[in-house]
A = this chain, B = another copy of it.
């Protein structure tokens, strides 16, 4: 019954409280997060029926992770259980000129070792109108890449809009495939691409002297692509950023103003909140400019919230989109 389906790994996030360094930590705050699941949870808070598809170990830890998604309102009925472990990422929160730091421990995860045949995408996507994936998934394992491709192809068959957050992490991709090849197949089935010109050039060899030119050239390679979006972050310090975004819709490039965030409470998940906001905007408003702005507002708001997930109402995001950034108390 889900309208929006997302697919991807969910990691345990272990984060020393406050600004403590790893060496100082006697406790970790624990949440469970993944880029695509973050999209689902943000959208669930705005009233969409969303489902996330992933795989967890069949253990109390795996169940805790699933229950965490359920708490955010995400449908967990398609999650699979099995395999060895949940991947972990350790996050140290920076401040001022000290950057935040992430240490991954994600290999051999239940998700990476999933069985693509166990996922019946026709059933999962039956009532969906949108499917979202990200570039991390095909980097993890052949199985994850295969399952992602199955999902995209099924979505195409069923006429479901597909969005993909395309990026490349050189320290993954250890199973022998070329990123360009694998990501190409996935992008070929995608309507809305989230990527920067640098990414498009590095992965697909798509060149361009401007964002628009890169987009036009991308569409020559992948004709299914109808929109490309990119976000721009000005990082003045670990505590102070500016955010804006661009959207190419096949005809023109739309731009937003910068939003200022100072201080940043938790920067992780900001990109996912942008995507969630953009999807929400495209589904709800007949106005791409407004949808893009909603995405940036959602992303900015995420920076003020602890954890990867954007917990917010539509009205809160819309207020920021309309320029209410003075922070006056709401009673």
Residues in B whose Cβ lies below 8 Å from that of A176:
none
Contact A26 B23 (CB under 8 A): no
Contact B108 A18 (CB under 8 A): no
Pick the residue among B60, B92, B301 that contacts A103 (CB under 8 A). B60
Contact A85 B105 (CB under 8 A): yes
Within 8 A of B (CB), among A66-114: 67-68, 70-73, 84-86, 88, 90, 92, 94-105, 107-108
Q: With A60-B103, A84-B107, A304-B97 as given contacts, are A263 and B239 in contact (CB-CB < 8 Å)?
A: yes
Residues in B whose Cβ lies below 8 Å from that of A240:
262, 327
- The reply on A123 being an interface residue by CB < 8 A is no
State in angstroms the CA–CA spacing of A28 and B105 once bound together. 17
Residues in B whose Cβ lies below 8 Å from that of A237:
260, 262, 325-327
Q: With A18-B306, A21-B311, A22-B60 as given contacts, are A95 and B265 in contact (CB-CB < 8 Å)?
A: yes
Contact B27 A30 (CB under 8 A): yes
Within 8 A of B (CB), among A233-282: 235-240, 259-265, 267-268
Pick the residue among B23, B305, B307 that contacts A60 (CB under 8 A). B23
Contact A329 B71 (CB under 8 A): no
Residues in B whose Cβ lies below 8 Å from that of A60:
21-23, 90, 92, 101, 103
Contact A28 B26 (CB under 8 A): no
Residues in B whose Cβ lies below 8 Å from that of A71:
67-68, 70-71
State in angstroms the CA–CA spacing of A307 and B259 once bound together. 30
- The reply on A166 being an interface residue by CB < 8 A is no
Residues in B whose Cβ lies below 8 Å from that of A268:
329
- The reply on A284 being an interface residue by CB < 8 A is no
State in angstroms the CA–CA spacing of A22 and B62 once bound together. 10
Q: How far is the CB of A23 from chain B (nearest CB, A)?
A: 5
Contact A238 B96 (CB under 8 A): no
Contact A98 B239 (CB under 8 A): no
Within 8 A of B (CB), among A26-71: 26-31, 59-61, 63-64, 67-68, 70-71
Residues in B whose Cβ lies below 8 Å from that of A86:
105
State in angstroms the CA–CA spacing of A26 and B22 once bound together. 15
- The reply on A117 being an interface residue by CB < 8 A is no
Residues in B whose Cβ lies below 8 Å from that of A85:
105, 107
Q: With A60-B103, A103-B59 as given contacts, are A304 and B94 in contact (CB-CB < 8 Å)?
A: yes
State in angstroms the CA–CA spacing of A46 and B176 once bound together. 37
- The reply on A132 being an interface residue by CB < 8 A is no
Q: How far is the CB of A233 from chain B (nearest CB, A)?
A: 8
Q: How far is the CB of A320 from chain B (nearest CB, A)?
A: 6
Contact A261 B97 (CB under 8 A): yes
Contact A73 B84 (CB under 8 A): no
Q: How far is the CB of A317 from chain B (nearest CB, A)?
A: 10
Chain A residues engaging chain B, CB cutoff 8 angstroms: 14, 17-31, 59-61, 63-64, 67-68, 70-73, 84-86, 88, 90, 92, 94-105, 107-108, 169, 235-240, 259-265, 267-268, 300-301, 303-307, 311, 316, 320, 325-331
User: What are 7 of the A-B contact pairs (CB < 8 Å)?
Assistant: A25-B30, A28-B30, A95-B327, A97-B261, A102-B329, A102-B331, A268-B329
